[in-house]
Structure formats: C-alpha cells, structure tokens
C-alpha cells in the first residue's frame, strides 16, 4: 500500500515533534537539575547585561543585587549575607571594647523591633519599650535592615550619642530619641527576694556567661534563709548564651535527659542537647514566669522543664524565637549567616512562632499598667502535646504557659490617654526621672515602695506641664493610675535600685501574686500541678459570672 505524500508528511512531522519534544523535555529537566548549567546561565546573563545594556552597568553591583535577591527570596529575617567589611565591623563591635544602648532587637516584617530594653541601660532609661520599632538611625531609614546592621549602627564608643526615631503602636509620628552609648554590663541575677511561706524569688534577666553560677548561688542563699519553694522569673529575658541555657536546665533535671533538639534538612544539623549531671535541687517546687518577651534560651529552659514536669509555667506565651543560624565563611572574607535548623522542646514542640504581617502585628493587644503591650488571647488553634508525665501542653510556637495570667491592664480610656503621653516619650521619661530625684531629696527618710499622695501627683502633673508636655488636663486625669504607678516605680528605683523597684512592682503584678499563692499551698511539684488541674476543672464546670477575674486568670479590662 502506498501512502500519499500529503498524509505521510504530517505523520513524520508529528513523530519528529514528539521525539524532539521528548528530547528537549529531558534536556530541560537535566538542565534544571544541573547546578553548573544554572550557574553558567546566570553568568552569561550578567555578562551580557554588563556588556550590552543601553546604560552602563557595573558587574559587581549586579552580583550584589543577585545575592540580595536570593536572600530575600528565602523570606527569613535571620538569614543574611555579610560583606567582609560588614563582618569585620560586627566582629570588632561584639568582641572588642564597645558600648551600646542596651536594646535586644529582632527583625519583624520590614522593621527592627525592640524585644527588650535591658535594665539600667541607656535605652531603658530613655523610655524605649518592648514592641517599639526602630524606623530611623542617624537620619537614615531602617526599613529592611537586618539585626546585625542595626547593631553596628547603634554601637560605638562610650559617651558618644546616636539619634534614633521610634515607631510606637497608636502613635502616628515616630518619636525622636538621643541615646548616649555606655558600656553595658548586666547581672544575670540582679537581686533575690524571700516571701512568706518559704517562697523564694529569683529574676533571671539574661543568659550571660555566668548565668548558671549566679542562679545556683542565688537559690542556695535563699534556701539557707528558709526558702522551700522557688519562683524563677524569665519575663523579659531575651535569651543569650545557649550553653548557659542548657547548664541552667541541668540544675533542675536528672542526668541524660533531653533539654532540646535541633532539626534541619541535613543530618549534620540535627542534634540533641542533654543534661550532664543530676539535678542540684531535687524536690524543690518550682514555678517559671514567662511573657511575650521571653525568648531563645528562656524558651528552651521553660519548655524543657515543662515537658519533664519539673516546673509549672505561668504567665503569657513566650516570643517564639526558635531558629538556628550557622555561619559559613565565603571567599574574599565574606560571610553567610544561614538559618539551618529549628529548635524543638523534648516533647517535639517547635519553639519558632510564625511571624505575623506588619499590618496585623498589634491586633488584639492591650497596654499594661507597666507600659508593655500584651496579647489578650493567643492559645486558639494550638496543637496539643503531652508532657512526659501525661500533662497537656500546647504547641504552635513559643512556650504556652500551663496557667495563663496577664499583667494588670489599662482600660480603653486609660490606654488612649497614655498614648497621648507617649507622643512626648523622651520628655516624659526625663520629667519622670527629674521629679523622682527631687522627691527623694525632699524626703530622704521615706521607706522604699511608699505610695505617693494626691498632692504629690498634682505636683508631678505641673512638672510635666513645665517641661512642655502638653497633653491636655483631661488626658492626664484619665492616665492617673498609670502616672501614679510609673512615678512610684521610678522613685523606688532611684532610692533602692532594682530590688526597690521590684518591691513596688510586685503590688501590681498578678502573675507573680498567683505564683506566690499557688506555691504557698503546695508542698511538692505534683501538688502544684494538682492545684491548677483542680481549679481548671472547677472553672470548666462553673457558669461564667459578669466582671471580676477573667477565665484565664487575667484582670478584666474595662471600657468606659
């Protein structure tokens, strides 16, 4: 049989197309899998653009743009490329003699955000708060900066100044601050306190190189003074040295128990951190306080002791900083800091919390009497896990407390009034300091923690007016509770240091009061767990009443 050419030609063309298309398809797959081909292709594109683009283009700049695009595509604020110059500056600033402003920072969305203003540092004295965003440094926008670049800009010689502009929730215009750099030296344990019923209290502010030894010595001293129960306060602790976190957990756990683990894509990034010795304080009932500013090593410790049923965790869900970065040295002295793994608690909960978009970062938040922003609720849709003792614990990023108790919060009217004051944040902080010093000079024998009278509060309002803080009288009246608290705290701090400030703060600290009350009733760690379980069971079966204390143990927030 003969086929006409008109029929044969389309068939041959189709067969050729299928064969060639398959060959080309296989070639495409091979090319996609061939890293060397892709690298050569990129080189060809860059060379052609540099050589023939209508306007002059520098090849070095094109490479830099390509590297930046790769980093940006990862959508990870912790991964960054550091040029040799940037790396040298960062190393000198962090390893040599340097001064800073005392701000612990992270990148959230497009902005560098303050996680904590460390006690006694220039940033804290100026009135910068957790949650503030650094929008400008020395006249340059900080949008898109990574934390290392912000560190280099904020650090410098002691006594030099740095101008920053701060974005704050509820304030339309950025707030200007001038910070004088100073050598920052922070004690991990600034003081201790012994409550009635043998309840000891130890605040751990940062995981420095001596954190474990300081904490162990503090607890031993409290036990010698009669403590039989302990509160470890990790609120506001941004973390620090990881090895100190593991060593600190070692104080409370039996030997060879998992403290945390890392999980990455490669076997080399997977590791398990374990305790190395028997616990130093067996049988000591323990409550750990955390909040939204507890991060990194704080979360590793709280998560480990919660999973091993060694501590009752109380407060608010922690920050959720659980990524591991590895430094890779590149050619030419350049460096790549790459996120290579995530931290997990012993029960398998990821510590890393998904970051929310910029526009929703301050949804469902309320301002506390102490001037911090907290979320009203953050436990919805969290995956349940089980501790090794069978208790229910929640995943979903950060460490969710066993018992959620919020700080004392402001009403809507009080919050609006405080935000008006915040437009003068720098001036308000200076006026607060000046008035507190004057007040102490006038009353040198007044006991620390004393309340101020209405006449003194009226004098303070007048002092604010004299300093040019022009919030109207009605706003100052609505902010009276906040003004009184802040002034009494400042007076106590200037008179008796951090412990004096604590004595004032503890009278308006629901999480601390709840911890003390529970520990006073419990003779063992298990009794502590049983008390909370019994109260939760009773609350589940009770009919909610109007007003009073919220179900989660937090004070109700009023609205006018």
Q: Are the CB atoms for 289 and 512 separated by under 8 Å? A: yes
Residue 210 sits at the vertex; the CA angle it makes with 207 and 213, to the nearest 5 degrees, is 110
Q: Determine which one of 188, 296, 347, 387 is catalytic.
A: 296
Q: Determine which one of 233, 291, 307, 509 is catalytic.
A: 307
Sign of CA dihedral 240, 243, 248, 252: positive
What single DSSP character describes residue 363?
T
Q: What is the distance between the alpha carbons of residues 415 and 372, in angstroms, rounded to a whole number?
A: 11
Which are the contacts of 325, defined by CB distance < 8 A and separation ≥ 6?
78, 79, 337, 338, 339, 340
**Residue 307 is a catalytic residue:** yes
Q: What is the distance between the alpha carbons of residues 290 and 233, in angstroms, rounded to a whole number?
A: 7
By three-state DSSP, how is residue 323 classified?
strand
**Tokens (6 digits) for 164:** 């920053």
Q: Are the CB atoms for 283 and 524 separated by under 8 Å? A: yes
Q: What is the distance between the alpha carbons of residues 164 and 180, in angstroms, rounded to a whole number?
A: 11
**Tokens (6 digits) for 98:** 């340097």
**Total residues belonging to the chain:** 560
Sign of CA dihedral 35, 38, 44, 45: negative
**Tokens (6 digits) for 532:** 């909370």
Q: Determine which one of 298, 321, 350, 408 is catalytic.
A: 321
Q: What is the distance between the alpha carbons of residues 182 and 179, in angstroms, rounded to a whole number?
A: 9
Q: Are the CB atoms for 145 and 80 separated by under 8 Å? A: no
Q: Between helices 147-154 and 84-95, what is the axis angle to 10°?
A: 60
Closest Cα partner for 494 from 538, 556, 450?
450
Q: What is the distance between the alpha carbons of residues 197 and 408, in angstroms, rounded to a whole number?
A: 24
**Residue 163 is a catalytic residue:** no
**Residue 296 is a catalytic residue:** yes
Residue 373: its H or E element: strand 373-375
What single DSSP character describes residue 251?
T
Q: What is the distance between the alpha carbons of residues 44 and 35, in angstroms, rounded to a whole number?
A: 14
What are the residue numbers of the active site?
296, 307, 321
């Amino acid at each position: 049989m003969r086929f006409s050419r008109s029929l044969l030609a389309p068939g041959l063309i189709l067969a050729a197309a299928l064969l060639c298309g398959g060959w080309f398809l296989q070639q495409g797959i091979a090319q996609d899998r061939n890293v060397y081909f892709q690298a050569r292709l990129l080189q060809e594109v860059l060379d052609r653009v540099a050589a023939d683009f209508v306007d002059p283009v520098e090849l070095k700049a094109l490479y830099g743009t390509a590297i930046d695009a790769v980093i940006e595509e990862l959508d990870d604020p912790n991964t960054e490329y550091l040029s040799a110059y940037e790396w040298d500056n960062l190393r000198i600033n962090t390893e040599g003699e340097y001064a800073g402003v005392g701000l612990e920072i992270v990148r959230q969305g497009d902005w560098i955000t303050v996680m904590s203003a460390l006690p006694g540092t220039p940033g804290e004295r100026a009135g910068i708060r957790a949650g503030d965003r650094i929008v400008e440094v020395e006249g340059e926008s900080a949008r898109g900066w990574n934390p290392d670049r912000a560190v280099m800009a904020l650090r410098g010689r002691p006594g030099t100044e740095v101008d920053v502009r701060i974005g704050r929730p509820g304030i339309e215009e950025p707030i200007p601050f001038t910070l004088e750099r100073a050598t920052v030296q922070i004690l991990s344990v600034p003081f201790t306190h012994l409550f009635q019923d043998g309840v000891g209290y130890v605040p751990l502010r940062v995981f420095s190189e001596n954190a474990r030894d300081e904490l162990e010595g503090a607890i031993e001293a409290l036990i010698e003074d009669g403590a039989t129960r302990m509160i470890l306060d990790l609120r506001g602790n941004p973390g620090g040295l990881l090895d100190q976190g593991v060593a600190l957990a070692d104080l409370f756990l039996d030997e060879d128990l998992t403290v945390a683990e890392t999980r990455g894509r490669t076997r080399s990034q997977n590791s398990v951190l374990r305790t190395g010795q028997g616990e130093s304080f067996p049988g000591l009932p323990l409550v750990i306080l955390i909040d939204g500013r507890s991060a990194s090593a704080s979360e590793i410790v709280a998560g480990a002791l919660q999973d091993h049923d060694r501590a009752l965790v109380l407060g608010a869900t922690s920050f959720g900083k659980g990524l591991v970065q590895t430094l890779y040295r590149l050619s030419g002295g350049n460096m790549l800091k790459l996120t290579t793994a995530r931290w997990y608690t012993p029960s398998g909960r990821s510590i890393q919390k998904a970051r929310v978009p910029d526009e929703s970062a301050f949804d469902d938040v309320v301002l506390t009497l102490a001037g911090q922003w907290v979320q009203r609720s953050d436990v919805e849709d969290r995956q349940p896990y089980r501790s090794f003792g069978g208790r229910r614990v929640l995943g979903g990023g950060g460490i969710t407390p066993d018992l959620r108790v919020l700080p004392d919060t402001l009403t809507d009217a009080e919050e609006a009034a405080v935000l008006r004051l915040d437009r003068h944040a720098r001036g308000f902080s200076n006026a607060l300091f000046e008035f507190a010093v004057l007040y102490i000079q006038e009353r040198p024998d007044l006991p620390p923690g004393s309340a101020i009278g209405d006449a003194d509060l009226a004098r303070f309002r007048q002092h604010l007016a004299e300093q040019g803080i022009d919030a109207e009288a009605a706003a100052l009246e609505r902010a009276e509770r906040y003004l009184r608290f802040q002034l009494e705290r400042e007076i106590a701090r200037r008179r008796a240091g951090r412990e004096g400030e604590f004595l004032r703060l503890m009278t308006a600290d629901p999480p601390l009061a709840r911890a003390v009350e529970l520990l006073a009733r419990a003779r063992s760690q298990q009794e502590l767990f049983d008390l909370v379980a019994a109260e939760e069971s009773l609350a589940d079966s009770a009919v909610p009443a109007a007003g009073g204390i919220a179900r989660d143990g937090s004070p109700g927030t009023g609205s006018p």
